[in-house]
Amino acid sequence: MGRRYFGTDGVRGVVGEDLTPELVERLGKAATLWWGRGSTLVGRDTRASGAELEEALTRGIVGAGGAAVLAGVLPTPAVALLAQDLGAVVSASHNPPEYNGVKLFDRDGQKLTDAQEEEIEALFDATPSGAGSVERLEGAGETYLRHVVERFGADLSGRRIAVDCANGAYSGLAPQAFEELGAEVVAIGDEPDGHNINVRCGATDLALLAETVRARGLDLGVAFDGDGDRMLAVDEHGSIVDGDEILAILAPALDVDLVAVTVMTNMGFHRLMDEHGIRVVTTPVGDRYVLQALRNEGGVLGGEQSGHIIWLRDHVTGDGLAAALLLCGALGDRTLGEAAATLTRYPQAKENVRVIRREVPNSILDEAARLSRELGDRGRVLVRPSGTEPVVRVLAEAETVEEAGKICATIARLVAQELG
């Protein structure tokens, strides 16, 4: 039947347009009926719309006979870790402040499958029955922080680190973690006002972090997105260190024999893992597909170029803070720049083409496939619709910046002509 409301990562949209309190209430009702009532731990990020949508979600849960356990502002990985019968996060992750959404986790902290989301959508118009309850959970953030520091932290004495909280759910929490481990911390993006989440800060815009590291002469900087499930870094020179490079540092340091990544991962990463004798499993874009592959293959490390880093020893999902602590611990006496330089990257060119409809026609897919065949082992072309925004994403990878840029521009023009 296909999903109407769920995308790559939950239900998401612009508040008041394609995401309304009524829709969120229906989702809360449907998810509760689907699970068979029970308790749902509810967290949210720092968006101005969060409290209203939390209330709507709660109405849906209670109206269907469930118990809503409200934890307030809490990072997404914390909700996954502390989930009761279900976990729900009111968040639009890395999207701008005008967006919001809801992510769901089962009692094991796992994101739902496509099939399970279809089953929930089938209950959107069901008649609710029973009266549930509401309670508030105090101290969830501190409980989560203790778990992460104890399981993933290392001695960071002497490290000088900038921590960008994206004015989101990690504000306050993440700087505290680094300070407890001995680092000297410069916190930025940690003054949320409801309207500044992900705005010129955080993992979606590393310019402020890079400038802070350079201006203060710091060792490195880490940045999270608004709900805390992504993490990227900059080295001592302010140069960006993306998810591919982070995984390239972590995989040998954590002594894994398998790592799961998505189709967006740089070809240079595959070559480096081959040199280390580490098997790479490739999935569609989306951290839940990486998670699924890890569980199917018995692996513990995976992630995305965009900064979703997953480590499943003592955790259930991707966690930005855990990943940042693991990265710092894996450096040893190296700088982040030195560690990241072990990965030789193929040049990539990317373009997000805004479109009216996201169904990519076969003519464009065929042309991308033809160009990939021509490139052979020298590069590739990838075209895919976004699961969270009205854009089609184009990626071209080649041996030179010029060739990658030319191919990307060619495909992007075709997408704009056909779908714009």
Cite the active site residues. 93
Tell me how far apart the alpha carbons of residues 377 and 362 are, in angstroms, rounded to a whole number. Answer: 23
Q: Which residues pair with 369 in a beta bridge?
A: none
* Encoded tokens for 172: 């306050």
Measured between alpha carbons, how far is residue 268 from residues 272, 284, 347, 361 in Å? 6, 18, 9, 29
Measured between alpha carbons, how far is residue 225 from residues 113, 212, 221, 272 in Å? 23, 17, 14, 28
Measured between alpha carbons, how far is residue 257 from residues 246, 308, 403 in Å? 16, 19, 34
- Phi, psi (rounded to 5 degrees) for 415: -65, -45
Tell me how far apart the alpha carbons of residues 198 and 363 are, in angstroms, rounded to a whole number. Answer: 36
Tell me how far apart the alpha carbons of residues 227 and 321 are, in angstroms, rounded to a whole number. Answer: 11
Tell me how far apart the alpha carbons of residues 381 and 350 are, in angstroms, rounded to a whole number. Answer: 10
Q: Which residues contact 224 (CB under 8 A, 6 or more apart)?
A: 164, 165, 166, 168, 170, 174, 202, 203, 230, 231, 320, 321, 324
Torsion of CA 181, 187, 191, 197, to 10 degrees: -100
Strands 39-44 and 240-241, sheet pairing? unpaired
Tell me how far apart the alpha carbons of residues 387 and 6 are, in angstroms, rounded to a whole number. Answer: 9
Tell me how far apart the alpha carbons of residues 175 and 187 are, in angstroms, rounded to a whole number. Answer: 6
Tell me how far apart the alpha carbons of residues 194 and 196 are, in angstroms, rounded to a whole number. Answer: 6
Tell me how far apart the alpha carbons of residues 15 and 282 are, in angstroms, rounded to a whole number. Answer: 34
* Encoded tokens for 21: 């309190």
Tell me how far apart the alpha carbons of residues 39 and 65 are, in angstroms, rounded to a whole number. Answer: 10
Q: DSSP label at 194?
A: S
